[in-house]
Amino acid sequence: MANDVKIRFRSFLPGAGFDSSGNPKQGKTRIVGQVAVTSYTEGGETLAPADVGLSNVDWIELNVRDETGSPSAQTLRRAVVVQSVNQFYLVREDLAGAIVEYAAAATETLDFCAEGDSAHDIELL
């Protein structure tokens, strides 16, 4: 596993947010950035909430920066997120719909947008 996360934008979301129990909570944040995958690990790459500047991820979207990889657009490249284990998978999908995971040590650039509890949130005792 080798990836480098760069945060490009952080916005503290005003107003009501909720924790996992449904209780009102302040401190929700939207983070936008980039993940440079320098050596993909077959079976998924870990992307923890702290990696993207959050203590808890409510929602995250990962997109391959250059989704087709070529002008012919014969193959689409995607990032699939599994939030329950804080991992993402890089896959290729051909025009027939066949999906294949990237080989080990592949490289890719991903853009992300995530929302959740800020890692910079004030903790009240």
Q: What is the pLDDT of residues 85-117, one digit of tens each?
A: 999 999 998 888 899 999 989 999 999 999 998
Residue 125: predicted pLDDT: 41
The mean pLDDT value for 27-34 works out to: 92
Residue 70: predicted pLDDT: 65
Q: Among candidates 112, 121, 120, 118, which has minimal Cα distance to 57?
A: 118
Sequence spans of domains, the chain? 2-118
Q: What is the pLDDT of residues 67-80, one digit of tens each?
A: 876 666 678 899 99
Overall pTM > 0.85 = no
Tokens of 33: 């950035």
Whole-angstrom distance, CA of residue 64 vs CA of residue 35? 9
Q: Give the lowest-confidence range in 46-55, 61-70, 103-112.
A: 61-70
